[in-house]
Structure 1
Amino acid sequence: MTHALDPAALRGLRLFAGLDEPALADVAAGAQTRRVARGSRVFAQGDPADACHALIDGRIKIVQTGPDGQQIVVRFIGPGEMFGTVPMFTGGGYPGDAVAMADCVALLWPAPAMTALMLRHPRIGLNALGIVGGRLQEIQNRLREVSTERVERRIAHALLRLVRQAGRRIEGGVEIAFPLSRQDVAEMTGTTLHTVSRILSGWEGQGIIESGRLQVTIRKPSALLAIAEDLPQAEEDGGS
């Protein structure tokens, strides 16, 4: 069902950056709103990629399952981000499950509607290329990390990416504003839950991070960056 959407809701979406008010109204007119309960899937791995999605509220993770049943977390999606867009243009299926980590509000545009919007507003296509390029660079960086870096550096890089994506400054550090389990971190970095637990517990003992149930706070960002970049660690005040 198509719902009336305020075009202002689209202003934070990179795919529609630079569009004027009439163009945003045109985009909003073709959007469908969907509410997704925590733990439910927006789409499943292998489903036909027949729509472009955007997250307005909530948190989503993209999880890919291999033939052996092993899972990896491909990406976390926060409010204002597009997802499931690239497969729509390749003619294949979705490469992973999009799982709601909290109650979510998402938008979607069926493939024919998005194609028509791109023809009417070429800026959308240019923005899409920028998004795809950024995602490709991130994937290349993660592949290099898995292939060449020791596990401590991979985990540090993963946490720093999440800080850049969803970091929230709080007293005494930076909180990652995602429900994040140690299993999620293991799946992001190509290692085991045991290894992640050992490393994160060690960092907690050093005061670099603080973790609770599905929550991670970086107490010493410079120390974490030093681990990620293999630099000597300097003394750091926890609030810096």
Structure 2
Amino acid sequence: MQKKAPKIDPSLVADFPLFNDMKKEDIGDILEKGVAKHYKKGDRFFDQFDEATHFFLMLDGYLEVSKTTEEGSQVIMRHFGVGELFGVAPAIAQKNYPATSRALVDCVAILWENKFWDLFLVEHPQFIKNAYSAIGQRLAQSQERIVEMSTEQVERRVAHAVMRLTHQCGVKTETGILIDFPVSRQDIAEMTGTTLHTVSRLFSAWSTKGLMQVGRQKIEVLEAHKLALLAQGH
């Protein structure tokens, strides 16, 4: 169930990379053309193959993007957090969303109708430039994941996945870095192309060594440097 959220003050988003080198009045104009909405945990922003009608900016919360293969298997593609643009089908000339996007916690997002993409291209080219910069970074990250899946042993792939989540969605605690949304061993398995049993075995070994603490849908990395070394094959 979704409900309309209050109007967004441009000063609250001015520090997002999406609005780098933009004037406050230009940011305000862009925000006024969008609609801010609340999404409950588990709500879907869109489903795979749905007609692409809007693009989105996350203001609060985290979401998961996943694809379902022809065989029916689910593959988690990426997680998005505060300040990130997603569902940008018009940027890649797609008429349908290529994946499903689901709220991992209660979220607030701004959505714009796709027609505004071309308008922003003319009226706010810096916004579009920043958006394509972010899309380019994601493409590079996707290529890195393909290399990992093709060439690395499973231990390195899983370590990379956990470290990637700490960088994207990690919150510092007194003892380490907590991944700031519910994430399960099965989620990690789907992200890395391995099995639940393998992830459980690795997590158990790493917990015994003091590298991490794992609870029900909760992961806290205690020794990020050592886990990063594992990801690098050391």
Task: Using structure 2 for the length normalisation, give the TM-score.
Answer: 0.93
Shift of 1:174: 1.4
**Aligned: 1:14 with 2:20:** no
Aligned residues: 231
Cα distance in structure 1, aligned partners of 2:91 and 2:51? 8
Shift of 1:13: 3.0
| Secondary structure of the structure 1 residue equivalent to 2:161 | helix
Q: Which runs of 5+ in 1 are unaligned?
A: 232-240
Number of the residue aligned with 2:8: 5
Number of the residue aligned with 1:116: 119
Q: Deviations over 1:213-237 (max 9, x none)?
A: 1111111112101110112xxxxxx
Q: Deviations over 1:29-83 (max 9, x none)?
A: 1011111111110101001122110111121100111111101111111111111
Shift of 1:91: 2.5
Using the aligned pairs only, state the percent identity. Answer: 37
Cα distance in structure 1, aligned partners of 2:74 and 2:82? 24
Number of the residue aligned with 1:36: 39
| Secondary structure of the structure 2 residue equivalent to 1:191 | coil
CA contact (8 A) 1:87 1:94 kept: no
1:191 to 194, 216, 233: 194
Q: Deviations over 1:81-136 (max 9, x none)?
A: 11111455413311111111111111111111232122101101211221111011
**Aligned: 1:150 with 2:153:** yes
CA contact (8 A) 2:90 2:114 kept: no
Cα distance in structure 2, aligned partners of 1:202 and 1:95? 36
Q: Which runs of 5+ in 2 are unaligned?
A: none
Cα distance in structure 1, aligned partners of 2:94 and 2:151? 33
CA contact (8 A) 2:58 2:84 kept: yes
Higher mean C-alpha deviation, range 195-204 or range 166-175: 166-175
Shift of 1:2: 9.2
The one-letter amino acid of 2:122's match is L
Shift of 1:199: 0.8
In the TM superposition, structure 1's runs of 4+ consecutive aligned residues that sit over 4 Å from their partners are none
Number of the residue aligned with 2:105: 102
| Secondary structure of the structure 2 residue equivalent to 1:194 | helix
Higher mean C-alpha deviation, range 199-208 or range 81-90: 81-90
Tell me: CA distance 1:175–1:14, structure 2 relative to 1, closer, same or farther (3 Å).
Answer: same
Shift of 1:3: 6.1
The one-letter amino acid of 1:65's match is T
1:81 to 56, 80, 84: 84
**Aligned: 1:220 with 2:206:** no
Cα distance in structure 2, aligned partners of 1:88 and 1:2? 26
Cα distance in structure 1, aligned partners of 2:227 and 2:92? 38
Number of the residue aligned with 1:52: 55
| Secondary structure of the structure 1 residue equivalent to 2:228 | helix
1:137 to 121, 137, 140: 140
Number of the residue aligned with 1:208: 211
Number of the residue aligned with 1:126: 129
Number of the residue aligned with 1:160: 163
CA contact (8 A) 1:53 1:107 kept: yes
